[in-house]
Amino acid sequence: MTSPDQPYRSGFACLVGRPNAGKTTLTNALVGEKVGIVSNRPQTTRHAIRGVVHRPGGQLVLVDTPGLHKPKSLLGRRLNDVVRDTLSEVDVVVLCVPADQPVGTGDRFIARRLKEVTAPVVVVVTKTDAASKKQVAEQLVAASQLVEAAEVVPVSAVAGEQVELLEDLLVGLLPEGPPLYPEEQTTDEDVERQIAELVREAALEKVWQEVPHSLAVTVEEMTRRPDPRRAGSELVEVHALLHCERASQKPMLLGRGGQIIKAIGTEARQGMEALLGARVHLELHVTVLGEWQDDPKKLNRLGY
């Protein structure tokens, strides 16, 4: 419990950074479980995912956003709007800069956008496990020159180094107030969206080269019934659609003899069973939704 001289704090922190800066991995490390899609491919987060960190002295609600970038499609513009809307509503901003790549135009582009933000900015040099001590030291100096920062912290989310220290710093920057979420809640993502993201993550790992960004997933149906194999347990039946943009991409997602789609299903199902705590029967189908990234109606249908 908090002592009387240390009031309880609660609020929202937004993680920003160029694509593939380690934002989602950091969110998952702070929350202590997987709440966002993690891939080594840029542009994988498409929704503001909230992870809730519960500490004795406060509650930190993390908002993980798509990477700010120069948009090339209507989808890209909408993703940037998600970030801008989020930045205007949070109590602290976390700018993620990877330790293993030099500070570049993408980082400077975001730093310029942060000049309009009133909330304090904490710069986190991520992926320190993937860089030498010299690289990390140089990156800390370079990153601290990007913005007026309240704190600059090196962190390895993968190795768990300095994650707790970062939590303490972020909670300390929040306003005083009661908890915003109940103790048992770690995310406000609805289950169907999390399931769709698990399918998309598995698909991206299998067909990244062939179908980079033109992949969306919708859960068409999800039903729960008693598991005939296990007394007292549930079986969750999920029917999901993988939407690609061009007819030529469909066979790539299916693979010879359906091998690829089968592998995607196997990997996604494991994640779903861990998420739902039940056996899952997953049916995946591939559809072609032409040029959906630039079509407002199709984007709305897909939830963007």
Annotated binding site for GTP: 64-68, 126-129
Helices and strands (H and E) in the chain: how many: 9, 9
For residues 159 and 100, give the distance between their C-alpha atoms in angstroms, rounded to a whole number: 15
Q: In 10 A of CB 215, how many CB atoms?
A: 21
**Phi, psi (degrees; rounded to nearest 5) at 6:** -120, 95
- As beta bridge partners, residue 153 has 124
Q: List strand residue ranges (DSSP E) for the chain, in order.
A: 9-16, 49-55, 58-64, 92-98, 121-126, 151-154, 215-226, 234-244, 279-288
Q: Give the closest residue to 37 by CA, choosing from 201, 159, 241.
A: 201
Q: Cα separations (Å) of 290 from 46, 267, 297?
A: 19, 27, 12
**What are the start-end ranges of the H helices in 149-258?**
163-172, 191-207, 250-254
CA dihedral 99, 104, 106, 112 (to 10 degrees): 100
- Residue with the two structure tokens 């347990």: 233
Annotated binding site: 64-68, 126-129
Compute the distance between CA of residue 25 and CA of residue 34 in angstroms, rounded to an integer: 8
CA 124/CA 226 separation, integer angstroms: 46
